A and B are shown apart, each in its own frame.
Chain A
Amino acid sequence: MGTVSGVPENLFAYAAQCNSAAEGLRTWVQRALAPALVDYQSGGGHQCSALDAITTSQITSIVAVDQQARLVGQAFQQAGAVTARPGAKQQFLAKELDLDSALRALKEAALRQPQVDAGAALAGTLPGHPDNADWARISKELAKHADDPYYSAGFFNKLNSEQIAHLLGRDVTIKALVNAYGSGSLSKTASDHVVEALRWLQGGDNSPEHFHITAAGQTGLLKALAADPRAAANFTRLLSAQQIRDLFHDLDAALNPSVRPNLLTVLTIGLSRISDPQQARTVLDNVSRALFSEDAPELDTAHLRPLIDAFVRLYQAGVSQSIPPPGTSGFREWAKRFGEQVGEQLGPFLNALSKAAGDPDHSLLKSMLQGGYVNAAFMAFAMLEPEVFVGRVAFNAAVGAVQSWASSWDPIGDYMKKEIEDGKHPDIAKLNDNISQHLQTLMISMMVSRNLVYKTNDKDRGHFTDKKDRVSFTGDTRQDSQLLHDILASPNAYHVGGYDANEKYPPSVRDMFDAFGEPEAKKAVKALGQDYKFE
């Protein structure tokens, strides 16, 4: 299965132009040709072939073919990654397998249109000024269809923020809404309305202009979204940077203390489920711009401290998901780009940490230690997941090896404990260094799982690699963990390459770490300001 290309804008335009022309002809056949045939035949004329029916049927087939271009365009947008073409229409590249999968989902959604219409019809029965009886009737009817995600999507797509706010206090409504998110058929506009309704908390703005939801309703929706990764992914994907900022800062922690961690959990689970690196990067950029850019409202230590765990998980998921996998050559370049991207993405967060970490008793670092930071660092395994390349056994083996390795060594934890015991000021640059080491481990695990890592021996050093020297995960956690230990302990004794690698001299694992580490550090230091220096 290869990579395929598409320009959705062109595909949409083609389908729109051709369908419009075909529909015009269909209408003319029904209004002009069909009556003329009837009049002729009933006026003594001979029986002509049913040209009107044959033409209409043919137009239906042609519309379906041309409509396919629109569906493929949508599938490219969902499954593909945008290429850089300054000044040109956006081109998407997608794995054929991913495109097929997105197309299947879109066709499924098209088949579900009657259910969507039925949900929309229920929403249409809401009067302009509903009373309690109206809300009860609607809730009762919606409850019958709460397990039908398409009915629910059709229903919520027709509601405004005020109407959604009225319904958010009911468990059955939350279930229906989360199912609607999971279907992928909830519109961006409907999601915008949900986000607006989420901000209208009782005791907050007290505006008489709109309804206010309860803290329980707010928490209920966020927890239900977090429990459904597909729904969380769609909720996350539809959020703009401004909405993330509004939600984060408007959700009053005093009125509902659990709301910010719950929101970050939804974003993390959603990000972990987004497989398109470009989309994942957009989400993470939105989070950084919303919460940690220069113009963002500042989060002081007291507010940041309880959220550190949640943020670390979110950034780990985002960084891991947004790195495109390597090809079969050009590994140093790939590691360099990987490093730059990680540095850019971690920078704003590290900067916020450095600003908030100035308290003498290191309470921020203590709170990070208590949060099981290392486990969080290894939650995101998307980079190990490409089963199309490596198969399920290798994936499970890689995950097992990394987990086992992580539980036996905790460089960040060790570092922080030492810093605290010594009474030093926290060094965020060193923290970045340690995060970077974790990501390097993930990078190498991913390459082993793709059969790209070889034991270097004197005979083949500096030359192309021999299959017999290739190292791989076996599925035996202890053995795989040991392999990872060995590679990390002796990075010069292993190299990365393949039979058709373009590079004459395959890079050693040490080369890969260096290629990753320097640009990562530079980008991160840039975000931290001039005062920080890496040793």
Chain B
Amino acid sequence: MGSYNFDAAQILSQQLTQLEWKLKWLAGVRAQQRRALLGDETSDNWSGPKRHAFEQEFQRGQMALEQLAASAQQTKREVDKATAQARLQG
């Protein structure tokens, strides 16, 4: 392994924070737009079996975004930890 690139590590750490925030923001946009424009599952805005199937897929997507945000947070912690160790070794 070559010398540790502290600048790259710092940029990635910042980007991972950004990623976590952006993923949560996307989930928030979807939830807000769904509430405002589609209403609940029996709303006149969209009802029927297609809406039911959409709701299931929508929730699956929201959960995936949440898990991805957690992964971004976890990866950031790993990067920060590696950077701290590199400083100690340096």
Contacts and interface: CB of A to CB of B under 8 A. Distances in A.
B49 A5 contact: no
A33 B3 CA distance: 22
Interface in A50-79: 51, 54-55, 58, 61-62, 65-66, 68-69, 72
- The main secondary structure of chain B at its interface with chain A is helix
Contacts of A105: none
Contact of A18 (B16, B30, B64, B75): B30
Contact of A91 (B1, B44, B65, B75): B44
B29 A28 contact: no
Contacts of B72: 51
A517 interface: no
A253 interface: no
Contacts of A29: 19
A65 B61 contact: yes
A25 interface: yes
A459 interface: no
Band of interface residues on B: 35 or more
A369 interface: no
Given A48-B78, A65-B58, A18 B19 contact: no
Given A7-B44, A17-B29, A55 B54 contact: no
23 contacts: A2-B48, A5-B45, A5-B46, A6-B48, A7-B44, A11-B45, A11-B46, A18-B33, A21-B26, A22-B26, A25-B26, A37-B12, A40-B5, A43-B9, A45-B4, A45-B9, A45-B82, A49-B75, A61-B61, A62-B65, A65-B61, A68-B50, A96-B49
Given A17-B37, A54-B68, 18 more contacts: A5-B47, A6-B45, A6-B46, A6-B48, A10-B38, A14-B34, A17-B33, A21-B30, A22-B26, A25-B26, A32-B15, A33-B18, A36-B12, A40-B5, A40-B11, A40-B12, A43-B9, A103-B50
| 8 residue pairs, one from A and one from B, having the closest CB atoms | A43-B5, A4-B48, A44-B4, A39-B8, A43-B8, A40-B12, A10-B37, A14-B37
Interface of B: 1-5, 7-9, 11-12, 15-16, 18-19, 22-23, 25-26, 29-30, 33-34, 37-38, 44-51, 54, 57-58, 61, 64-65, 68, 71-72, 75, 78-79, 82, 86
